[in-house]
Chain A
């Protein structure tokens, strides 16, 4: 299994193009933010003091979520490629069994998701610390790392479910571009969730994305929010959190713990769905040309 994971990682990081393409969603959200999103969001929130200290980590939370979604999708695409181009048939002749091979795709994808989120986090922290004097807090490191692992696991399973409907490399690249575009909306980065029409909000709330982003934001924004809203009433703070997706309104705003529980729940349901789907589809995995 370790040998398979090494192979998958090598294939991922061997092609610089593939890796940077999988970060496209994150890069777009970051650039859009710098170019105009920051100003347009800020213009609606002019009464909030120290807004920059809030908006920069807020963007980081969303961008990390996008990164988790797109990099796991891209990495797990190796599974579809191997199925389509026959490499799976060669791998099936080796010592690891089919289940080990599938497990290796999952584990290497989880690992890649974590590493890529780590890279994006490092880059953005450095950028915002240098350019906006954002305060990087050491006590972020451990909780953020845990959330990165959790989001990598969640999105690996979700993508595993989605990719079990994808059979060939052509549909795979379409899938990846759709995911890359959709991730920004689902993580509510291009537009804060409060500004999105309710029907679309409702759809978004059926995916793990807003809870994932909310969880990152809750950790990153703990101190900045306390600072900026120290003179405001709890109701005002609550409204701000809800409209910015720092907590999602389902019978009250989700907290750090309810977000974690929701993400774990999504993972479990997705795993059950994967088991059902693979049993129904039972598609020949050994396509030959």
Chain B
């Protein structure tokens, strides 16, 4: 049995399929990423997975516990795409009132979270007046307050500065290590996917590819060797292999580092400079859908 799984998840709104037959298997402690552009159906999928939206078809279970039961709710934490806490209450009041709505509240853990997410300074401020980054850190504290085993993050870092993003991931990675926290992340930030154990690529409500990031890269994202030549030399044999020549630059898709080294060695007298660009998640997306993710 998997720690968390969803089978044949489908959602129709007015006869339009927004999510189509999504199957998901998650093991304890894993970090799963849903990668997809805006409107792909990521939030709709998450809403079903956390039990706020009833799927048209499909089953969801967490260690055999049915979605929407009290036990299920107690085991999950959610950071919503939009910030949903009470704007008129202070940070502390928000966290306290939410903590009161759970059974397993541990004040020591609570204090730790506040310190880790650097919330002490803003505890007495109204949630509504916080900056986007501050608010997001509070949202994350809220989601962790009852020590969930499975944390959902729906585009948590959209519009955040790099410091906040790093801070958030530093805290989450730490909890992941110490508590075996399982994470399901949706994002269109390619950088964030780099940490994931397993990636689902979602487009138009469908999973168009899924694998570990390394395997996805191997399959869809190739390393590129870019060579800048000294003169206006032409290299017919290389160009014939479907590579691109732009002025004095030659872009080569290489299958291995050895191949790249050999090419460079062959041409070493003609080269003025070169650059090796490793395959990225963006390439995966481009290859699969024919469009840039953002």
Contact = CB atoms under 8 A, between A and B. Distances in A.
Contact of A3 (B47, B78, B93, B100): B100
A170 interface: no
A279 interface: no
B85 interface: yes
Contact of B97 (A7, A92, A96): A7
B97 A87 contact: no
A6 to B, nearest CB: 7
A93 B97 contact: no
Contacts of A87: 84-86
Given A6-B100, A10-B93, A286-B53, A86 B82 contact: yes
B50 interface: yes
A3 B89 contact: no
A4 B70 CA distance: 16
Contacts of A92: 52
A78 B101 CA distance: 18
Chain B interface main SS type: loop
A47 B52 CA distance: 66
Nearest to A286: B52
A39 interface: no
- Overall SS of chain A's interface: helix
Interface string B76-118: 1010101011101100010001101111000000000000000
A97 interface: yes
Contact of B70 (A11, A90, A95, A289): A95
B56 interface: no
B224 interface: no
Contacts of A15: 88
Contacts of A286: 47, 52-53
A93 B74 CA distance: 8
Contacts of A96: 101
B80 A89 contact: yes
B88 to A, nearest CB: 5
Contacts of A3: 97, 100-101
Interface string A67-79: 0000000000000
Contact of A11 (B43, B82, B88): B88
A94 B88 contact: no
A86 B103 contact: no
B211 to A, nearest CB: 30
Interface string B5-45: 00000000000000000000000000000000000000100
A120 B149 CA distance: 49
B73 interface: yes
A288 to B, nearest CB: 7
B43 A93 contact: no
Given A89-B52, A92-B52, A10 B84 contact: no
B103 A90 contact: no
Contacts of B73: 93-95
Nearest to A3: B100
A7 B97 CA distance: 6
A173 to B, nearest CB: 15
Interface in A1-54: 2-4, 6-7, 10-11, 14-15
A178 interface: no
Interface in A71-114: 85-87, 89-97
A4 B100 CA distance: 8
Given A95-B102, A97-B70, A85 B53 contact: no
B190 to A, nearest CB: 25
Given A95-B73, A288-B47, A86 B84 contact: yes
Contacts of B74: 95
Interface string B112-128: 00000000000000000
A86 B101 contact: no
26 contacts: A2-B100, A3-B97, A3-B101, A7-B86, A7-B97, A7-B100, A14-B88, A15-B88, A85-B84, A86-B80, A86-B84, A89-B80, A90-B84, A91-B101, A93-B50, A93-B52, A94-B73, A94-B102, A95-B73, A95-B74, A95-B102, A97-B70, A286-B47, A286-B52, A286-B53, A288-B82
* Top 7 A-B pairs, shortest CB-CB distance: A3-B100, A94-B101, A7-B97, A86-B84, A90-B84, A3-B101, A286-B52
Interface of A: 2-4, 6-7, 10-11, 14-15, 85-87, 89-97, 286, 288-289
Given A15-B88, A92-B52, 14 more contacts: A2-B100, A6-B97, A7-B100, A10-B89, A11-B86, A11-B89, A14-B88, A86-B80, A89-B52, A90-B80, A90-B98, A91-B101, A94-B98, A95-B102
